[in-house]
């Protein structure tokens, strides 16, 4: 799911609870997070197709404040793939960063049910000079339970749970109204909730693809492994129906605060 940049900004706007109905990091960089108060009581997926599908591929340049470009990252969707009788999208994220002789590698995979809007399985692998970690979890939405490969089990707060990576895609389905605030109890791990998403403002940012009109979103997450308390990830989504993550700012092991900037895209989203 995405680094773990921790930039703090005030949350704006009034809100009320919302759910993603059954109808429907940190990938090194998406430690992206995990995951309701919503400015709209209507679930976006009820009235529109998902803005992402199998075949989408986004590539990024990774840079740090005082070191320029230090690596690359890729987000893409494979599938469909069967998981316990359910057809899923396989969401993927890989990043590789190198500063001097230090290399950090992160890889995340999420098996996402696009009809139910929930994750069924999550894998994450991180390697850097400071830590080596692996996570493998199966999620059981009907039972509101999860079980890790190491034998750990836990309860989920939602029958449509999400993980770090799938939440990045879920954000793309939300109404992007500046001043709105959304709060979700959707991460499969109870201790990682709530997750708050604030829509800050519209702006234009430079990228290798040219200037892009975007909506700045700030996501506040709980992740004791990567943050001391609360972390903040800043995400710039393209200001169109595709909602592509054009820039992601977060903190990563070894390199500190880093920025992913979109360099190319192959989106199956159909713009109006």
| Residue at 170 is within a domain | yes
Tally of domains in the chain:
1
- Residue 254 pLDDT: 56
- Residue 97 pLDDT: 87
Q: How large is the average pLDDT for residues 163-169?
A: 95
| Residue at 126 is within a domain | yes
- Residue 255 pLDDT: 58
- pTM equals 0.80
| Residue at 190 is within a domain | yes
| Residue 257 belongs to domain spanning | 16-263
- Residue 256 pLDDT: 67
Q: How large is the average pLDDT for residues 233-259?
A: 87
Buried b / exposed e along 241-260 (16+ C-beta atoms within 10 A): ebbbbbbbbbbbbbbebbbb
| Residue at 268 is within a domain | no
| Residue at 258 is within a domain | yes
Q: Give rounded-to-5 percent helix, strand, coil for the chain.
A: 5, 55, 40
In this predicted model, what pLDDT tens digit does every residue of 168-217 receive, in sequence order? 999 999 999 999 999 999 999 998 899 999 999 999 999 999 999 999 99
């Amino acid at each position: 799911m995405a680094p773990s940049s921790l930039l703090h900004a005030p949350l704006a706007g009034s809100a009320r609870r919302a759910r993603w109905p059954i109808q429907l990091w940190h990938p090194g960089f998406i430690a992206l997070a995990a995951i309701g108060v919503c400015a709209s009581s209507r679930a976006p997926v009820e009235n529109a197709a998902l803005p992402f599908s199998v075949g989408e591929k986004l590539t990024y340049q990774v840079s740090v404040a005082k070191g320029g470009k230090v690596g690359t990252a890729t987000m893409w969707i494979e599938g469909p793939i069967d998981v316990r009788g359910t057809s899923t999208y396989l969401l993927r994220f890989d990043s590789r960063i190198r500063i001097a002789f230090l290399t950090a590698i992160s890889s995340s995979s999420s098996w996402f049910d696009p009809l139910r809007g929930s994750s069924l399985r999550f894998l994450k692998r991180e390697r850097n000079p400071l830590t080596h970690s692996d996570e493998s979890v199966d999620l059981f939405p009907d039972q509101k339970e999860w079980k890790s490969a190491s034998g750990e089990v836990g309860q989920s707060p939602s029958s449509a749970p999400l993980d770090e990576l799938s939440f990045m895609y879920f954000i793309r389905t939300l109404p992007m109204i500046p001043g709105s605030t959304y709060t979700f109890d959707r991460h499969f791990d109870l201790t990682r909730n709530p997750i708050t998403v604030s829509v800050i403002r519209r702006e234009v940012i430079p990228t290798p693809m040219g200037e892009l009109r975007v909506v700045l979103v700030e996501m506040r997450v709980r992740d004791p492994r990567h943050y001391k308390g609360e972390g903040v990830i800043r995400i710039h989504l393209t200001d169109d129906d595709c909602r592509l993550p054009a820039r992601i700012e977060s903190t990563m092991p070894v390199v500190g605060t880093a920025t992913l900037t979109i360099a190319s895209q192959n989106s199956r989203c159909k713009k109006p």
